[in-house]
Amino acid sequence: MKRNTILIVEDMMINRMMLAEIFKDEYDILEAENGEEGLRLLTENFSSIVAVLLDIVMPVMDGFGVLEELNRQNLISKVPIIMITGENSVEFERRGYEYGIVEYIHKPYFAPVVRQMVKNNINLYAYKAGLESLVRTQTAELQEQNKLLKEQAEKLRKTNDVMIDAMSNVVEFRNMESGQHVKRIRVFTKALAQDIMVRYPEYGLTKEKIEIINQAAAMHDIGKITVPDNILLKPGKLTSEEFEIMKAHTSRGSEMIAAFVHLEDEDYYNYCYDICRHHHERFDGRGYPDGLKGDEIGIAPQIVSIADVFDALVTERVYKKAFDRETAYQMILNGECGCFSPKLLEAFLGVKDEFFRLLDESKDAR
């Protein structure tokens, strides 16, 4: 319904007639002779009313009583209320503005001024209502767009997960490792990361980041797809040349991540790349491929590195028998399997029982 009605609430008929005469050519007019009747007309015709001209002194219910009721119903901000008064009281005006009126009209009326004053406030409220409607529309559109973006991100994440699982299974199959290796790496990674989040908040880990790291950990050895079988499956010690080819699985794997993982999921991509490239770096700088030292190595590859080494120790490989879990733990803590961060080793010791429990849950754990 189009808003085109002005409600005049004034107990003096002559005053109502004068005000109605000013606006009759541009607006429909409703009249009430007291506040109670004015409230009723406003409620019944609210959708069509563009302004209310409200007297202060009236029988039955005065103007301030009307304002109190409009405030109670939260309506005073939805339509401009312009007060009519013959008083020049500062206290009256203060009270009116505190209730939320937009303007005062002082008697006697000067038609051009009154007409322009009321029209200005009607236009202002119409503009405000238009802006609010536009904001609501745009907000709804943004919310819908965000919903679609989240759905697309989730689809991309699921696509990545399927691809990663498939590629990881290919690596395990070629490496003649059990199908549980990647699963164990992920659960070990998550358990260690959760302890570090609580123990060392300076690393900035959160539940959300840990979940992404947990997913990205599956990609740590994807570069082994490029390693020839005669090296990957060699039961004895690798020659120096063969070891260089094996080491290249970190850099080749990160190149594959850059080529295949959707870049829209930036955090996921960064963790996959970092883990794949740097999970063989060592805290003393003697790792590969980049020779990073200390906390130059990201927290994610540091965590995955410990999980990977532990799993390699407690499971049988083509080149070694499995160590018992206690021995494996001590080998890592004693530095027999490379140099790790003292902080991470402290956390690793703290999750010992959890690691053993997770290992027991693995169907093919030795």
**Active site members:** 224
Q: What residue spans of the chain are helical by DSSP H?
A: 13-23, 35-44, 63-72, 90-99, 111-175, 181-199, 207-216, 229-232, 240-247, 249-260, 266-278, 299-314, 325-333, 342-350, 352-361
CA distance 362 to 182: 11
Q: Are 8 and 32 in contact (CB under 8 A)?
A: yes
Q: Which two tokens stand for residue 305?
A: 């590195």
Q: What residue spans of 240-364 are helical by DSSP H?
A: 240-247, 249-260, 266-278, 299-314, 325-333, 342-350, 352-361
CA distance 362 to 185: 11
- The Cβ-side half-sphere exposure at 347, using a 13 Å CA radius, reads 24
CA quadruple 129, 135, 139, 141: dihedral positive or negative? positive
Q: How many CB atoms lie within 10 A of CB 293?
A: 15
State the amino acid at position 183 in one-letter form: K
Q: How many CB atoms lie within 10 A of CB 91?
A: 8
Instruction: Give the torsion through C-alpha atoms of 361, 362, 364, 366, to 10 deg.
Output: -70
CA distance 305 to 313: 12
